[in-house]
Structure 1
Amino acid sequence: MQNFNWNKLQNGSDIRGIALEGVPNEHVNLTPEIAKILGQAFASWLSQKVNKPNNELIIGVGRDSRLSGPAIMQAVMEGITSVGSQVNDFAMASTPAMFMSTITAGFECDGAIMLTASHLPFNRNGLKFFTAQGGLEKKDISDILTLAATNKLETAAVNGKISERDFMSVYADQFVNQIRQAVNHPTDFDRPLQGLKIIVDAGNGAGGFYADLVLQPLGADTTGSQFLDPDGTFPNHVPNPEDPTAMAAICQAVITHQADFGIIFDTDVDRSAAVDSTGKELNRNRLIGLISAIVLQEHPNSTIVTDSITSDGLTEFIDRDLGGIHHRFKRGYKNVINESMRLDREGKESWLAIETSGHAAMKENHFLDDGAYLISKLLIELAKSKLAGKSLTDLIANLQEPVESQELRIKINVEDFQSLGNSVIEQMHTFGLSQPDWKIVPNNYEGVRVSCTADNENGWFLLRLSLHDPVIPVNIESNVPGGVDFIKQRLLSFLKTQAALDLSAF
C-alpha cells in the first residue's frame, strides 16, 4: 500500500471511492483490502476520541443496497474486529439509523459506519462515520486517512466479535410512536393514517422499510408502492429525489393509484421528497416551504437555514407570511447544518437546516439529516389536515414560485480550476455592479448573486464555484416568461470574455 493515494478517498466529511469495474476510465480504488484498513483506522481513531481501549469499543456497521456492499462491509468489520473491537452487524440500514444506533437505549454504539455512496452510480461506494456527537467533520476524515496511510495499526491478540442485530425495526418503531403521539387521533390512536393511501418509492435503495415497518402499522394503505426491494443495479431509476426521471416515476404512481401522498427516498435515506394528491412535486423550494411552515407553527420566529440557490419567493414566504427568518448559506448539507447549529448556539433560535437537494436536519432530532424523519413530520401534518378537513398544501398556498428556472454547469478547462473560478466570480461582481438594472445581493456566502430588475428579466442568478469539481454552476430564475433566456444572453456576453470556460451549456 506504499504508493496508494489515501487522500483521494476523501469527499468532504466522508469517504467515497470506486468499488467495482464497469464504467470506462474508472478504476477500482476502494477494495476490500483498503476497506479493512479503514475499519482498523476508524476503531483506532475512535479509541482515542472516546478514551476507551479498542477491546471495549462497540461499533455499528450497516450498508445500503450497492452490489459491492456485502464484500466491503465484511472487510470493514474484519478490520474493526482485528484490533479487538466488537461489531454490531446491522445489515441493510439507512445512514440516519446508523447515527441513532449510537444514542438509542440497548444499542449505544461508541461509533458507527454506514457503507454508501448515496445516489452515485452502481460502481461507487463509500463510508460515512458517526459518534454520539453526530457525523464526522472533514478534519476527522483526514485524521482517519492519515492513520490508514501509516499502515502501522496494531492487531489484537484476540479478535473482537461480530453480532448480528436488528436495529432497523427499533428505529422504525421510533417513527411509529412519534406519529401516533403527535397526531393523537381522537378515535384510532394506533392507526392515525387509516384511510390514507400513501405510496413509497425507495428506488431499490435501503428505504423500503418505511412502507412495511412505519406506514402499515399506522394503518396506511401502501398499495402501489414501488421499487422497495434492494437492488444495487438500480434498474428502475436513479435513487435521487433531485432526478427528473425519479420524480416523474413517483408522481405518476400517485396519479395512477389515486393516492393521497407520495414519498421518495435516496439510496441511504438521508434525503427525501414528496408528492401531493394531485401528483405535484413537493421538493426543492416547495419542500422547504412546507417543512418551514410546520416548524414555524411549532417554533415562531425561528431562523430557517438553507443553501444558496433557494428562490426569492421562498425568502418572502418564510419572512413575510410565516414570520420566520430565512438565512441563505453555502451549498453543501454539512455547511447548512453547521451554520444552523452555530446560529442556535449563539442564541438565534434555528430549528431547521435544509438544502434544496432534500437534506433536512432539525434541532429536535439532533440536527441529523434524516429523510425518514422529514417525511414523518409531513405525515403528521397530513393526518392533522385530514382531521380538520383541510389539505396539507394549504400551508404553502402563499408561496410564490418562479415562472422559469434553470441550472447551467460551466466546465473549467484548466488544472488550477479554483483560482480561475474565483477570478471569474470576482470579475462577475465587477460586471454586475456596472449594469444599471442588476443589483448585487448582499449577505451572500458563496459566489455572486445578482438581482435582475429589468422588466423582461425580473429574476436573479447565482454564479458560484462547485465544492469539488472544475465547474461553475449557474442558477437562474425569472418571474416572467422568457426571462431566463434574457438573463442568459447577458451573462453569456460576459462569460465569452473569460478564457478556459466551456460555454456549451449555453
Structure 2
Amino acid sequence: MLDDYIGKVAGFVRAPKPIRIVVDAGNGMAGPEIPRLFARVPAWRLIPMYLEPDGRFPHHHANPLDPATTRELQDRVVAEGADFGVAFDGDADRCGFIDERGERVREDLVTGLIAEFLLEGNPGATVLYDLRSSRAVVEAIARAGGRGVRSRVGHAFIKTRMREEDAVFAGELSGHYYYRDMGFTDNGLLTLVQVANIIAARGRPLSELVRPLDRYPSTGEINLRVREPDIVLAALAARYGNADLDYLDGLTVGYPAWWFNIRRSHTEPVVRLNLEADTASLMDEKRQEVLGVIREADPGAKVV
C-alpha cells in the first residue's frame, strides 16, 4: 500500500528540475515515505534529517510550529546551500517550510502561495482559508481569480466545508494543507511536492516567491490562560463595538488597517489571539491595547 500511495503523491510532480531539499522527518511517520518519494523524482536531491521513526523523539519533538524544533533544520539548509527545507510533524499531516536563507516561512503565506499556483490550473475554483490567515492570503486568492471562503479552525470543520464547497485546496495556520485531489484530506507530503513544483515553475527562490505575500505585520498566535473566556470575549466585543464583528470561531474584530481573532483552543485550556495590522508600529500598539483589555477583564490572564 505504501508504494501505491507514494506513486499517487509522485503523480502530482510537475516538470521537476534539479533542486536540493533538506527534509526533517522529526523521527516521525514521514521518515519511511520520504526516500521512496525522492527515488521517483531523480531530479531532486534529498538531504535527510531524522528519518528513522522513533516514538521517543530523541532529537526534538515533532512540531514544526515551534521555532525551537526547526533551528537545526534552518542551519542545515544554509550549510548545504539547499533550495528549501521542510519539517514534518509526527504523523506527517502537517509541515513547515524554511526558505533558502534559513528563514521560517509563515504557514498562512504557504496557503497563499499554493492557492495561487493551483488556481492557474483551476480557474475560478474555491479555496478555503482558516480565519486566522493574513489578509494577504485573501487578496492572493482573489488576485488569482479564485473564490476565497473563510473557515473555522480545525480539520473536522475544514474537511466538511471543503466537500460542501467542492474546494480545490484549503490551508490552516497550523500547517495543515488540504487537497480535493487527495480526497479532501490534509497531506504534508503532497505539500512538499507542491512547493517544489512552484519553485521549478517560477524559477525563483522561495524567499522571493513569498515576499509579495509577507506585507502585513502579525503577532503570530499568542496563547493566554484566562479564567472566564466568555467574559474576556464580551469585554473585547464591547470595547471594539464600532468594528466589523463576527463570531464564526470565537470573536473576530475587523478595522480597515488592523484586525484580530480570539478563540478558545480545541486542544488546550487557553484562548488564542492572532492580530495583524498594516504597519509594525500599529501592530505593536494594538497588541498592547488588546492585551490590556483582556487583563482588565481578567486580571489573572497570563501569556503561556
Q: Give the alignment of 1:124-143 within 5 angstroms.
A: none
Matched AA of 1:383: A
Establish whether residue 471 from structure 1 lines up as the match of residue 270 from structure 2. yes
Match of 2:91 in 1: 268
Distance 1:200 1:450 in 2: 38
Alpha-carbon deviations, 1:1-57, whole Å to 9, x = none? xxxxxxxxxxxxxxxxxxxxxxxxxxxxxxxxxxxxxxxxxxxxxxxxxxxxxxxxx
Relative to 1, partners in 2 of residues 1:487 and 1:268: Cα closer, same or farther, differing over 3 Å? Answer: same
Alignment size in residue pairs: 304
Q: Give the alignment of 1:373-452 within 5 angstroms.
A: 373-386=190-203, 390-391=204-205, 395-413=209-227, 420-433=228-241, 439-442=243-246, 444-452=247-255
Q: Give the alignment of 1:29-40 within 5 angstroms.
A: none
Contact kept in structure 1, 2:128 and 2:171, CA below 8 Å = yes
**Structure 2 unmatched runs, 5+:** none
Distance 2:245 2:146 in 1: 20
Relative to 1, partners in 2 of residues 1:448 and 1:328: Cα closer, same or farther, differing over 3 Å? Answer: same
Match of 1:131 in 2: none
Once the two structures are TM-superposed, the CA of residue 446 in structure 1 deviates from its matched residue by: 1.3
Match of 1:368 in 2: 185
Once the two structures are TM-superposed, the CA of residue 250 in structure 1 deviates from its matched residue by: 2.1
Distance 1:375 1:472 in 2: 31
SS of residue in 2 equivalent to 1:361: strand
Once the two structures are TM-superposed, the CA of residue 475 in structure 1 deviates from its matched residue by: 1.3
SS of residue in 1 equivalent to 2:123: coil
Alpha-carbon deviations, 1:164-187, whole Å to 9, x = none? xxx2233222233442xx32xxxx
Relative to 1, partners in 2 of residues 1:203 and 1:293: Cα closer, same or farther, differing over 3 Å? Answer: same
SS of residue in 2 equivalent to 1:225: strand
Match of 1:176 in 2: 10
Across the aligned residues of Structure 1 and Structure 2, the Cα RMSD in angstroms comes to 2.4
Q: TM-score, normalised by structure 2?
A: 0.89
Aligned with residue 231 of structure 1, among 54, 60, 73: 54
SS of residue in 2 equivalent to 1:356: coil
Alpha-carbon deviations, 1:345-376, whole Å to 9, x = none? xxxxx211221111111111110111112222
Alpha-carbon deviations, 1:51-73, whole Å to 9, x = none? xxxxxxxxxxxxxxxxxxxxxxx
Match of 2:102 in 1: 279
Establish whether residue 204 from structure 1 lines up as the match of residue 27 from structure 2. yes
Once the two structures are TM-superposed, the CA of residue 324 in structure 1 deviates from its matched residue by: 1.8
Contact kept in structure 2, 1:317 and 1:398, CA below 8 Å = no
Matched AA of 2:275: I
Match of 1:496 in 2: 295
Match of 2:258 in 1: 459
Higher radius of gyration, 1 or 2: 1
Distance 1:220 1:253 in 2: 20
Once the two structures are TM-superposed, the CA of residue 227 in structure 1 deviates from its matched residue by: 1.0
Contact kept in structure 2, 1:197 and 1:223, CA below 8 Å = yes
Once the two structures are TM-superposed, the CA of residue 440 in structure 1 deviates from its matched residue by: 2.4
Distance 1:280 1:492 in 2: 28
Distance 1:385 1:482 in 2: 33
Once the two structures are TM-superposed, the CA of residue 332 in structure 1 deviates from its matched residue by: 0.9
SS of residue in 2 equivalent to 1:316: helix
Instruction: Point out 4+ residue stretches in structure 1 off by more than 4 angstroms.
Output: 390-397
Match of 2:303 in 1: 505
Q: Give the alignment of 1:478-493 within 5 angstroms.
A: 478-493=277-292
**Structure 1 unmatched runs, 5+:** 1-166, 184-191, 345-349, 414-419
Once the two structures are TM-superposed, the CA of residue 305 in structure 1 deviates from its matched residue by: 0.9
Identity of aligned residues (%): 25
SS of residue in 2 equivalent to 1:339: helix
Q: Give the alignment of 1:157-176 within 5 angstroms.
A: 167-176=1-10
Q: TM-score, normalised by structure 1?
A: 0.55
SS of residue in 1 equivalent to 2:26: coil
Q: Give the alignment of 1:242-321 within 5 angstroms.
A: 242-319=65-142, 321=143
Distance 2:196 2:96 in 1: 12
Once the two structures are TM-superposed, the CA of residue 295 in structure 1 deviates from its matched residue by: 1.4
Contact kept in structure 2, 1:293 and 1:396, CA below 8 Å = no
Distance 2:294 2:211 in 1: 38
Relative to 1, partners in 2 of residues 1:266 and 1:336: Cα closer, same or farther, differing over 3 Å? Answer: same
Match of 2:40 in 1: 217
Q: Give the alignment of 1:52-201 within 5 angstroms.
A: 167-179=1-13, 182-183=14-15, 192-193=16-17, 195-201=18-24
Alpha-carbon deviations, 1:382-408, whole Å to 9, x = none? 33334xxx4456654532432342432
Alpha-carbon deviations, 1:419-444, whole Å to 9, x = none? x423432332122115xxxx2245x5
Distance 1:207 1:240 in 2: 13
Contact kept in structure 1, 2:28 and 2:54, CA below 8 Å = yes
